[in-house]
Amino acid sequence: MRKLLIIVCLFIINKALAQTAVVPLKDKFVLVIHGGAGTILKSQMTPEKEKAYQEALNKALETGYAILKEGGSAMDAVEATVRTMEDSPLFNAGKGAVFTNEGKNELDAAIMDGKTLAAGSVAGVTTIRNPITAARAVMEKSPHVMMTGKGAEKFAQQQGIEIVAPSYFYTEERWKGLQRAKSEDSTKMQQDHTDTTKGISSGFSEFFYSPLGVGGKYGTVGAVALDRHGNLAAATSTGGMTNKKFGRVGDAPIIGAGTYANNATVAISGTGWGEYFIRLVMAKSISDMMEFGKMKLKTAADEMIMKRLPALGGDGGLIAVDKNGNIAMPFCTEGMYRGYIKNDGKKEVRIYKD
Ligand code: ASP
């Protein structure tokens, strides 16, 4: 009897120790970011502007790197990284977001945890300083995945997330971009035509968004990470597309389209003509090609971005990191603000096509 008691006690102690045992951190970790794709040409860039973009991208990378290096979670890293880009007026997210046809800034964002497949997003919000933080609150503090407009703003306020006046998001450059888009659209409207082979009337789509008519940049921001626990996460934040109308929501806050993370496969954040990313279910398609088609990340990402996206009439790019730390940053536009940093400190920031 005494022997049995000792065995039972030893069993319980052993189990308790196993539960509290510290799992050693892995060496490998990776962070990849983008600040939007589009017609980004060296010939159209001033040295000052190029330097400003490089600095902003480097700051974003260093922010996430510091978290990952200390063993922080991929979720914390992608949120903090995206926040720095939301706060920068250079990118179309948070401060510096593009304007809708009505002259407002309506922001979309999403975040996803590859470990649990938990996700959160907000769409069409106008007063939340950092929409990515609100998206995470939707994921962690509510039973929902997606909240829109006034409801999302009310929820964010209840959660103590910083609320700002809509005028906080204003930048003169984006305002001018809207005026240019409107005048280009009125010209295009006069030559409106319908191309049903693309599934969207091309005259119609130009009228709505002029994606490449306003300096040719999309400007969404995103981050994906593999942390030292082996977990993946993805985050995307955007002002959407210049001159958007009628409560339009893009791909960024749609889980599986512009944002997706799954520890079994990959974490992805996209930038580009959102309607096409939604129709192609871009990010989840790549994950499925890897999971069920046993494709490598690069093959799957190139197939979607370099072939299927342009074949449908869209354009853009994405960043991705797979469960083994392989990265991909394909785009079918002239350029994409992008960069990555790895555990050994290897860091690269790039803007143009090679
Ligand atoms: N994908 C975004 C959207 O369609 C735009 C962007 O990438 O800048 O809303």
Task: Tell me the domains of the chain and their CATH numbers.
Answer: 30-352 (3.60.20.30)
Q: Is the pLDDT of residue 4 over 70?
A: no
Residue 244 CA: which ligand 1 atom is closest? 9
Q: Which residues are catalytic?
A: 220
Q: Which residue has a Cα nearest atom 8 of ligand 1? A: 218
What's residue 42's pLDDT? 87
What string of DSSP letters covers 106-143?
-EEEEEEETTTTEEEEEEEESSBS-HHHHHHHHHHHSS
Residue 274 CA: which ligand 1 atom is closest? 4
> Do 233 and 118 contact (CB within 8 A), yes or no?
no
Read off the pLDDT band of 302 (50, 70, 90). very high
Ligand 1 pocket mutation pick from 99, 220, 242 by most atoms within 8 angstroms of CB? 220
What's residue 210's pLDDT? 41
* Residue 186 Cα distances to 22, 90, 204, angstroms: 63, 27, 11
Read off the pLDDT band of 183 (50, 70, 90). confident
The Cα 78–Cα 198 span in angstroms is 34
Read off the pLDDT band of 133 (50, 70, 90). very high
Output the CA 270–ligand 1 centroid distance in Å.
8
Cα distance between the two ends of the chain? 75
Could you tell me the pTM of the whole model?
0.90
**Residue list, ligand 1 pocket, CB within 6 Å:** 36, 92, 218-220, 238, 240-241, 250-252, 258, 271-272, 274
* Residue 45 Cα distances to 42, 92, 93, 162, 232, angstroms: 5, 17, 20, 34, 34
Mean pLDDT, rounded, for 137-155: 98
The Cα 29–Cα 61 span in angstroms is 13
Tokens of 121: 């997003």
The Cα 270–Cα 258 span in angstroms is 5
Q: Is the pLDDT of residue 193 over 50?
A: no
Read off the pLDDT band of 211 (50, 70, 90). very low
What string of DSSP letters covers 10-23?
HHHHHHHHHHHPPP
Tokens of 94: 């948070």
Q: Is the pLDDT of residue 308 over 80?
A: yes
The Cα 213–Cα 202 span in angstroms is 14
Q: What is the pLDDT of residues 221-238, one digit of tens each?
A: 999 999 999 999 999 999
Mean pLDDT, rounded, for 310-330: 97
* Residue 288 Cα distances to 110, 141, 264, angstroms: 20, 29, 10
